[in-house]
Amino acid sequence: MFDHLHWERESSRYGDPLILFKTRFDRLRHPQSGKSFERLILESVDWVNCVAINTDGQLVMVRQFRFGAASTTLETPGGMVDPGEDSETAIRRELIEETGFVGGTWSYLGAVQPNPAIHDHLCHHWLGVDVELDGAPKNEGGEFIQVELHSPAQVMHAIQAGEIQHALALSVLSRVYNIWATPTVDR
């Protein structure tokens, strides 16, 4: 389907690795003009994030300094899927590492493409209900994360106030809650 839109890849080369990504440059042929163009692809393992709700109905959230934004953000927990790991194992591991919360009942909420123009991987969304605090977070030395519990109403308020702006955090939250109160246009 949509074969007429397909760009044939003529060649690929790898650039310098970028800590989180392998950089690949593909040379591809325009389906109509036949001209060739070089395009950037950031290769990575899949990402994963979650809405994690404790036994009191509070959301387990993380606050940390983010290097791209150069500011502190409030987000849902998440991270990267280790090679060979399935995404449920990954999100449960990341939740323990970042927050110290364990257990709960987990449901898969689907996946999004962080940006299909450049990323070759997905971000998987999970819902964990009735997670419980087991001990201190097990952060690696390269992270510094503050764990916070917020009621759903507080999280909705933080979204409306622009305090939560991470597209992938908003994406997983939107699978669980109606995060934008009023549709702008009638369907």
Please say which residue, 63 or 93, places its beta carbon nearer to its own copies.
Answer: 63
In the list 61, 95, 127, 131, the residue contacting its own copies (rule: CB under 8 A) is 127
Q: Which residue pairs from 55-58 have beta carbons closer than 8 angstroms and sit at least 24 positions apart in sequence?
A: 55/130, 55/131, 55/132, 56/149, 57/151, 57/152, 58/149, 58/150, 58/151
Q: Using CB under 8 A, which of the segments 87-95, 98-106, 130-138, 141-149 binds its own copies?
A: 141-149
User: Closest distance between its own copies and the C-beta of residue 76, in Å?
Assistant: 12
User: Does 45 engage in binding with its own copies (CB under 8 A)?
Assistant: no
CA distances from 171 to 6, 49, 52 (A): 28, 10, 14
CA distance linking residue 52 with residue 97, whole number of Å:
14
User: Closest distance between its own copies and the C-beta of residue 56, in Å?
Assistant: 14
User: Closest distance between its own copies and the C-beta of residue 150, in Å?
Assistant: 12
Q: Hey, which residues between 48 and 77 contact its own copies (CB under 8 A)?
A: 51, 53, 63-73, 75
Q: Using CB under 8 A, which of the segments 86-94, 95-103, 130-138, 159-167 binds its own copies?
A: 159-167
Closest by CA position to 97, among listed 72, 121, 114, 80: 80
Q: Using CB under 8 A, which of the segments 21-29, 87-95, 97-105, 130-138 binds its own copies?
A: 21-29
